[in-house]
């Protein structure tokens, strides 16, 4: 999974995550053994009500206004640290 997610993990990290994943899968197996007949399916334990604001058109931000508080910028773009390395072996 780490390879598919493009994560570089040490052998120690792999061992820790392997153990954690095994624990999670064992817990899911226990949950699958429960008798839930008669229990109504639900996505959320409490009633959920979305509160939407009115959809009013607004004047769009100019690039200058959007970038006004940016810690770093390059021209009219936000400049952020690189988070994904190029992998040519995909």
Phi-psi region of 42 (alpha: psi -120 to 50; beta: other; left: phi over 0): beta
* Residue 19 resides in a domain: yes
**Structural domain of residue 6, as residue ranges?**
1-34
DSSP tag of 77: E
The predicted model scores a pTM of 0.45
Using a pLDDT cut of 70, give the percent of the chain over it. 97
Residue 83 lies in a domain: no
Instruction: Tell me whether residue 47 is in a domain.
Output: no
* 1 belongs to a structural domain: yes
| CA separation, residue 66 to residues 34, 55, 61, 73 (Å) | 52, 21, 6, 11
- CA 90 to chain centroid, in Å, comes to 22
Low-confidence ranges of the chain (pLDDT < 50): none
Q: How many domains does the chain have?
A: 1
Cβ atoms of 14 and 7 within 8 Å: the answer is no
In a domain, 28, yes or no: yes
Helices (H), the chain: 11-32, 63-66
């Amino acid at each position: 999974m780490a390879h598919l997610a493009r994560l570089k993990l040490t052998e120690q990290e792999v061992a820790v995550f392997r153990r954690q994943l095994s624990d999670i899968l064992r817990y899911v197996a226990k949950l699958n053994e429960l008798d839930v007949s008669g229990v109504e399916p639900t996505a959320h334990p409490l009633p959920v009500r979305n509160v939407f604001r009115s959809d009013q058109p607004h004047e769009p931000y100019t690039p200058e206004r959007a970038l006004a508080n940016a810690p770093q910028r390059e021209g009219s773009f936000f400049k952020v640290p690189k988070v994904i390395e190029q992998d040519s072996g995909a």
